[in-house]
Amino acid sequence: MQFDYKKKAYRKGLKSYDIFCSRCNQNEARTWFKQNYPETTIADHKKARAIATEKIKKLKKQYNDLLDRGAKRLFGRKWQVYDYRVSGVGRDEFPESLKKSIRTTLDWLNHWESIWYAHNSALPAKHQSKVKP
């Protein structure tokens, strides 16, 4: 099943909002799926969650690779946790092009983590994963 994650969610008395740009709560995810995809099965949610898990793994690797690339330019070695100075981009000294790539990667990572969380939340409790990707 294909999901259109750009469809907006609605709350009583509020304007529409995108539940996939930040973490939604369990009830919001279930409501969104019931409103937009009432025929969604448990297997559909599990498959979408698995796809999101793979995307998250790739994006985390890409993020770490970008930090390593920046650290090699600055320090001549791989990134280490104590190198972290600036939220998101790691270091102010990184070139602007690298910082832009890091920000873009983090935006996509947050997007796919929200999708993973929404599909996991929409599942009955016995099918939910307790382990985050």
DSSP letters for 24-50? PPHHHHHHHHHHH-TT--HHHHHHHHH
Count of C-beta atoms within a 10 Å radius of residue 86: 12
Is 86:74 a contact under the CB 8 Å cutoff?
A: no
Asked if residue 95 belongs to a domain, the reply is yes
Determine the structural domain holding residue 39 and report its residue range: 26-124
Q: How confident is residue 42, by pLDDT bands cut at 50, 70 and 90?
A: very high
**Overall number of domains in the chain:** 1
- Rounded to an integer, the average pLDDT of 60-75 is 94
Asked if residue 81 belongs to a domain, the reply is yes
Condensed to tens digits (0 to 9), the pLDDT of residues 69-93 reads 999 999 999 998 888 887 778 888 9
- Rounded to an integer, the average pLDDT of 29-43 is 87
Is 93:26 a contact under the CB 8 Å cutoff?
A: no
Q: What is the mean pLDDT of the chain?
A: 86
C-alpha triplet 42, 117, 85: angle, nearest 5° = 160
Count of C-beta atoms within a 10 Å radius of residue 67: 23
Q: What single DSSP character describes residue 94?
A: S
Asked if residue 100 belongs to a domain, the reply is yes
Provide the pLDDT for residue 76. 95
Count of C-beta atoms within a 10 Å radius of residue 124: 9
Asked if residue 69 belongs to a domain, the reply is yes
- The share of the chain scoring above pLDDT 90, in percent, equals 48
Q: How confident is residue 20, by pLDDT bands cut at 50, 70 and 90?
A: low
